[in-house]
Chains A and B, each alone.
Chain A
Amino acid sequence: MTGSTLPFDDLERVYERLAETLDALPEEQESHFLAQLALALAHRVPEVDRVMAAIDEAREGTSGN
């Protein structure tokens, strides 16, 4: 597995773009959009282990709610 990741400045740009894209969507389409986005991003990651790890990370982030 390669360890290369997105620089934080770019991650911040993604954050802002996502916020604005979400605001442009009807609320009931949010989860549909995010699921599509997850698949589209996963397609661009050559190692499946990294995608699975990301799923686990996001899952953990919701467990403390």
Chain B
Amino acid sequence: MRPAGRSETDSLYFDYPHFPFVRPPELDAQAIRHRVAIVGAGPVGVTAALELARHGIASVVLDDKATVNDGSRAICISRHSFEILQQLGVDGPFEQKGLGWTQGRTYFRDREIYRFQMPHSDQERFYPMYNLQQQYIEQFLIDKAAESELVEMRWQSAVTDVSQGDDGVTLEVTTPEGDYLLEADYLLAADGARSVVRKAFDLSLHGEAYEGRYVIADVRLESDFPTERRAFFHSHALPDTTILVHKQPDDIWRIDYQLGPGEDPEQAVEEANIRERVELIVREVMQESGDWELEWWSLYKAHTLALDDYRHGRVLFIGDSAHLVPIFGVRGLNNGLADAANAGWKLACVLNGQASDRLLDSYSPERRGATLDVFANAGKSTRFMTPPTPGYALMRDAALALAFHNDYASGFANPRQVTPYTYAESPLTLVDDPAFEAGPVPGAPLINRRLGDNDFLLDHLGIGFNLLHFSEKGEIEHALQQWLAAIQAKGIDLTLLRLAREPGAEGALVDPDGSLFAGYGAAPGTAYLARPDRHVAVRWKSLEPTALDVALITALGGE
């Protein structure tokens, strides 16, 4: 919502683009068979389109809007998500515009009681978290998609119904110039919490909706306070309300506050009430004396809801269409981007003949597993942020009071921010080699390591599968070379990264100080097989080339 007199796209800092309707061939009775249709041009849908394009697969993205999101909404992008963006070649504008951050503070009764640090080191290319308004996130992804001949954006095109048969899906599309049917081999449903695709197949989300409603409000305010996450509990100004504050680019501040149990949400989002509450928070809680302007606000509820199966025949649900999670821990967008990457590479492997349709069966256990992991933590986080009963409120305040002097209690104040999920139980993940004492386990994402100035391990990944091979000087045994050539000849996209302790073979990446080998628990002969989404499929302390075939077959969904 925006202040009276301003339209949804009348922003203090962002120029909303206008995407014209382009008449598609289907409206002139030309039959086209698309490989992949994506419903929803939000961050998740366009990320999926870019991932498909990275693997050479064309898609068409449909959205009923003519511009990007009306407000800043999801503003925190995790390092893991940035590594996805890097693979898509779009991290540049995100890093330039986003505000990287590493720490946060918790206040109790207006006193700082705890500072949390997110894991960070000079081995990382990216900060653990960046703040960036969703309009920019969408804009940068759409700009990138415009550079690709493999992504067709269809704006002002509302999908009204969907059906599927044995060999494809059919979408009914309504446009300013008439209705048409769109045919595709597969469909990715990225159409959000009120997914039309989900309704068309009569599927519903299951789980809990927690008590409590929250307002998110953006204000423009000049302040030197650094980019951190601040959480205020039991402030003197609003003792019954938990308040979160985040800095965004363009001097925009996100203020997130809980409504009291007796408060009427409709009244709470009236502009006068928003202004009164924000003024109190800016002055008394944030302790800012400068002028502020109201930009945008919205209301949300904490949910833990998910589909029972994220695959429905030729349809994969990605992002909010598949799951709704509470915003504490910033998992909505970040898990949505991981969904898009996961569904994207698998669908590409099926469509370009590297894998059978069965590979898609692994999408739901992997990504629904990640959602259930969020749910396990979300209950705790939500009960802490917004205690549902007097008993929980008493315990919460007791833990915060103890945390001021005692580290043992500060864990309660930790916001449990999103961490990448390990696909340990996935049918694509192989059994670990017990000889390892360190490094990412099968199912976990690769870790980054600095190789030099502005040079990191993950910068060197190929598009498809990657074999990280550790050796003294970058040498590769003849037998392994032959196996790799045979695998590549079968059409499997596999890149060899030679990681060496010391310079020798040309093209090998040299571990500058031992931290690459140490981080991966590696010795000469060690190898990691990573999937296109950087998750480890299997690792060997000492690779037997014949094992590679079996591993790739498993990681591609089996024979």
Chain A interface (Cβ < 8 Å from any Cβ of B) = 5, 8, 11-12, 15-16, 18-24, 27, 30, 57-58, 60-62, 64-65
Contact = CB atoms under 8 A, between A and B. Distances in A.
A19 B412 CA distance: 14
A57 B402 contact: yes
B389 A12 contact: no
Interface in B387-411: 387, 389-392, 394-395, 398-399, 401-402, 404-406, 408, 411
A19 B109 contact: no
Contact of B405 (A21, A24, A61, A65): A61
Interface in B374-398: 380, 383, 387, 389-392, 394-395, 398
Contacts of A58: 402
Contact of A8 (B109, B391, B398, B411): B411
Contacts of B392: 19, 23
Given A62-B401, A64-B111, A57 B390 contact: no
Given A57-B402, A64-B109, A64-B111, A20 B408 contact: no
B111 A22 contact: no
B288 to A, nearest CB: 23
A30 B390 CA distance: 11
Given A15-B412, A64-B111, A21 B399 contact: no
A19 B395 contact: yes
A15 B400 CA distance: 12
Contacts of A18: 391, 395
**Secondary structure of the B contact surface, majority rule:** helix
Interface size classification for chain B: 20 to 34
A30 B394 CA distance: 10
Given A11-B408, A61-B405, A64-B404, A19 B389 contact: yes
B389 A57 contact: no
B394 A19 contact: yes
18 contacts: A11-B408, A12-B411, A19-B383, A19-B389, A19-B395, A20-B391, A21-B391, A23-B390, A23-B392, A30-B394, A57-B405, A58-B402, A61-B402, A61-B404, A62-B401, A64-B111, A64-B401, A64-B404
A17 B395 CA distance: 10
Given A8-B411, A12-B380, A15-B399, A22 B404 contact: no
B444 to A, nearest CB: 21
Contacts of A22: 390-391, 394-395
Interface string B350-384: 00000000000000000000000000000010010
B109 to A, nearest CB: 6
